[in-house]
Amino acid sequence: MFGHSRSRTIELAYKYGLKKWSNEEMRKMYMKDVEELVSPLGLELPDPYKNRRVL
């Protein structure tokens, strides 16, 4: 979730182990963890694409 997905240095970050997952992969893992926490409370997460500027 750090840095721009299309930066020039992203391949170096992967190569040297600074980054293991893409921003989208990290976002999905985070949302899954949050969902597991709020669901037992009877809460629902908002639509992740509503009002999102970058798709």
Which residue from 27, 25, 43 is spatially nearest to 35, judged by alpha carbons?
Answer: 43
Please tell me the distance from the alpha carbon of residue 41 to that of residue 39, in angstroms, as a whole number. Answer: 5
pTM of the model: 0.65
Cα radius of gyration (the chain): 14
Q: Which pLDDT score is estimated for 12? A: 84
Which residue's structure tokens are 């949050």? Answer: 34
Q: Is 39 left (phi over 0), alpha (psi -120 to 50) or beta?
A: alpha
Return the H-helix or E-strand segment holding 46: none
For 1-55, how does the pLDDT look when each residue is reduced to its tens digit (9 = 90+)?
556 667 778 888 888 888 888 888 888 899 999 999 999 999 998 887 888 776 5
Q: Note the pLDDT of residue 54.
A: 66
